[in-house]
Structure 1
Amino acid sequence: MKIKNLMTEDLITIDKDQNLTDALKLMHKHKISRLPVLNANHEHKKELVGIISERDIADKIGSAKFEKKPISRIHVSSVMVKDIITVPEDMDLIDVAKLMFDNGIGSVPVMDDENNLVGIVSKADFLTLANGKAFDKLYVKDVMSKNITSVSPDERVVHARRLMIDAKVGRLPVIENDKLVGMITYKDLIRAFLDIKKNVPENHQKVHLKELLVDEIMTPNPLSANEYESVSKVDNLMIETGFNGIPTINDNNYVVGIITQTDILGLLIELES
């Protein structure tokens, strides 16, 4: 199967000269976490110049460089990733899956023969392929990541942000006494940063952010999966909820791992091979 048969063709894009407020509004409205960034060239054609994601925004607006700047004054071009990997629309989908897996990227723009952007494919799109007997017979424990990056509820948000950036993960289970008590994502980080910028006087924002704790912004009582549930069941759960990772617990409700879209993508590649 070619990637053009799996990609999303209904593209939501943003111009490089728009600001982060515009980007976040588009992401929220369409329930997506990344946007292709376009620019009009000398022929007045829109060309792909980058990708901006929630991760990029959380990284930048939580940094010292942008801490005093309103997001309405931060251009997409100053935050987006410029060195992007693209794929041709006739590329085999498993080859695209390998490319994404090997490079640790969540999505790739799809181009036609004239190098025009015609679609985008994400790890979430590949979830639709993880169904059938093979996936019904596999347990979550056989696929999940056991070495998870996590935080405790009394740790500082700035520490959680640094962990997420360094580990290149989109979410952190919040664990207390080996049990799952919450989840923190880039959405939570962005929401917290914007709340501080809006409601705290500028000369107090830095201190307020430094003192902010994980349990003040995390999502409590998050969704989890038992390690003996089938991969297909959890895969369908990800499709329904839009979550890209679900913590895994054992029968005693202790956290033993996390299953992510990346884990399922790796499984698809392994089964195809």
Structure 2
Amino acid sequence: MELKDIKAKDIMVTDLLTIDPHEKVAAADLLMVRNSIGGLPVIENEKLIGILTQKDIMLSRFSISVGGLQVEDLMTRNPIKIRPETTLEEIIELMLTKNVERLPVIKEEKLVGLVMHGQILKKIHEVL
């Protein structure tokens, strides 16, 4: 396989932890820490409505106490989404221009995976 042939479906993580928008931020933070992950897709009625990252939580701690807030208060709404057929080149371009480290993969309006910069590096290393 060549780099130009790699698609989102080839590098996405499919065993995902997600969170409800009405959960407490403290619970989301604990879930991320315990599972060594940097972000959680936020799902409501089986649809992706946002992403909450460790960065969101850390940045908000400078101005407010986040423990009692709900996930929906801090999440990034309407995150950039990609399809399983999105090319590696398009994924890298989006990550660089939009300054994001993870992209949700959507098929038929449902979250089917997540592409993170770590998976991209692993795949490039495999191919090289």
TM-score (norm 2): 0.90
Is 1:139 the counterpart of 2:7? The answer is: yes
Which of these residues, 147, 150, 174, is aligned with residue 18 of structure 2? 150
Structure 2 letter corresponding to 1:217? L
Equivalent residue, structure 2, for 1:262: 118
Equivalent residue, structure 2, for 1:50: none
Deviation of 1:257 after TM superposition, in Å, equals 0.6
TM-score (norm 1): 0.44
Is 1:191 the counterpart of 2:59? The answer is: yes
Q: How many residues are paired up?
A: 128
Structure 1 letter corresponding to 2:2? A
Deviation of 1:139 after TM superposition, in Å, equals 1.7
- Alpha-carbon distance in structure 1 between the residues aligned to 2:67 and 2:116: 29
Which of these residues, 14, 18, 29, is aligned with residue 161 of structure 1? 29
Equivalent residue, structure 1, for 2:106: 249
Deviation of 1:214 after TM superposition, in Å, equals 0.3
Runs of 4+ in 1 over 6 A off after TM superposition: none
Listed one character per residue, the Cα deviations across residues 16-68 of structure 1 (whole Å, up to 9, x for unaligned) are: xxxxxxxxxxxxxxxxxxxxxxxxxxxxxxxxxxxxxxxxxxxxxxxxxxxxx
Sort the Cα spacing of 1:210 and 1:241 in 2 relative to 1 into closer, same or farther, 3 A.
closer
- Alpha-carbon distance in structure 2 between the residues aligned to 1:173 and 1:210: 19
1:135 and 1:230 in contact (8 A); partners too: no
Matched position secondary structure for 1:268 = helix
Deviation of 1:196 after TM superposition, in Å, equals 2.2
Q: Gaps (5+ residues) in structure 1?
A: 1-132, 198-208
- Alpha-carbon distance in structure 1 between the residues aligned to 2:43 and 2:33: 19
1:173 and 1:247 in contact (8 A); partners too: yes
Which of these residues, 78, 85, 98, is aligned with residue 221 of structure 1? 78
Residue pairs, 1:11-90, within 5 angstroms: none
2:3 and 2:127 in contact (8 A); partners too: no
Is 1:212 the counterpart of 2:69? The answer is: yes
Matched position secondary structure for 2:79 = coil
- Alpha-carbon distance in structure 2 between the residues aligned to 1:210 and 1:239: 31
Structure with max Cα Rg: 1
Equivalent residue, structure 2, for 1:240: 97
Equivalent residue, structure 2, for 1:271: 127
Equivalent residue, structure 2, for 1:7: none
Percent identity of paired positions between Structure 1 and Structure 2: 30
Deviation of 1:178 after TM superposition, in Å, equals 2.1
Deviation of 1:186 after TM superposition, in Å, equals 2.0
Residue pairs, 1:79-118, within 5 angstroms: none
Q: Gaps (5+ residues) in structure 2?
A: none
- Alpha-carbon distance in structure 2 between the residues aligned to 1:192 and 1:240: 23
Is 1:230 the counterpart of 2:98? The answer is: no
Which of these residues, 27, 41, 44, is aligned with residue 176 of structure 1? 44
Q: CA RMSD in A?
A: 1.7
